[in-house]
């Protein structure tokens, strides 16, 4: 019976926090209070305030708590499987919510629109993910989804899938984005090589390659704006010109060789035969 007042105290505190949220939202709450409120729904009669403080102390910020691996969350005193699952659900739910609000019947008019659609795709991502955007000739959004998870170095795998999807959706324009979990959005040599290969593959099926975006730590880099796509386009054009020149030379040499062979045969047949 001695625990009844404690239960009553917790119930009153929970009720006040819930009413505060319903009245004012999360903006008036500190981070530890936000976590405390969330954890109510995985812990029926437990004081979640110290657990919220322990989570922030271990991981550093609200975002880092939500991005923490499931296994690491379980190492915090008071956090069990139900609480860890609830915490991992939040960023994924946020991403799905944003997508469902923006993707339907969208027309894309600017890079900023594309960025706003894509940045939520990488919420909570611990590994590199490659996302494809396909647009129609009128700017309509035809496809936006993850096509590969893992290193951008797995180029042949996702290039084949991108080409298949682009043709399937009869796309006019394609754009890809991927994240750098390291927190550095600058493109690597591997990123540039992958972009070059994808550019060539899309050009081969007459689909415009608009951009390759790299997201990291709330920032992004556009390879088009950084000048890389223009360099790749020029390099591809030069390589094509060189190939055409080599083919033309080869055909000319073959033509000369055939003429030489014909002349040699004619000359041999023209010699008077000995009797």
How many CB atoms neighbour CB 204 within 10 A? 9
Question: pLDDT of 108-155, one tens digit each?
Answer: 878 888 898 888 888 778 888 999 999 999 888 899 988 988 766 666
**Cα(83)–Cα(42) distance, integer angstroms:** 5
Instruction: Look at the chain and count its residues.
Output: 275
CA–CA dist 189, 191 (Å, integer): 5
Which tens digit of pLDDT belongs to each residue from 204-213? 999 999 999 9
Full-prediction pTM beyond 0.85? no
Rounded average pLDDT over 245-266: 57
**DSSP category for residue 140:** B
């Amino acid at each position: 019976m001695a625990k009844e007042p404690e239960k009553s105290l917790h119930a009153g505190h929970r009720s006040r926090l819930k009413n505060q949220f319903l009245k004012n939202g999360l903006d008036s709450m500190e981070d530890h209070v936000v976590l405390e409120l969330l954890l109510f729904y995985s812990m029926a009669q437990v004081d979640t305030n110290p657990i919220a403080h322990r989570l922030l102390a271990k991981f550093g910020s609200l975002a880092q708590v939500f991005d923490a691996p499931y296994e690491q969350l379980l190492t915090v005193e008071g956090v069990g499987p139900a609480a860890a699952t609830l915490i991992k659900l939040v960023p994924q739910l946020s991403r799905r919510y944003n997508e469902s609000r923006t993707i339907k019947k969208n027309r894309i008019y600017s890079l900023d629109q594309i960025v706003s659609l894509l940045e939520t795709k990488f919420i909570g991502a611990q590994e590199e993910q490659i996302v494809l955007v396909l647009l129609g000739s009128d700017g309509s959004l035809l496809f936006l989804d993850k096509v590969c998870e893992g290193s951008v170095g797995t180029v042949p795998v996702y290039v084949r899938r991108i080409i298949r999807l682009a043709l399937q959706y009869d796309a006019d324009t394609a754009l890809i984005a991927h994240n750098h979990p390291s927190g550095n959005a600058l493109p690597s040599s591997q990123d540039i090589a992958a972009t070059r290969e994808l550019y060539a593959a899309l050009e081969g099926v007459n689909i415009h390659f608009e951009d390759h975006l790299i997201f990291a730590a709330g920032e992004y880099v556009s390879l088009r704006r950084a000048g890389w796509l223009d360099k790749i386009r020029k390099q591809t054009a030069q390589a094509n010109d060189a190939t055409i020149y080599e083919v033309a030379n080869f055909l000319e040499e073959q033509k000369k060789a055939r003429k030489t062979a014909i002349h040699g045969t004619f000359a041999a047949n023209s010699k008077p035969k000995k009797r």
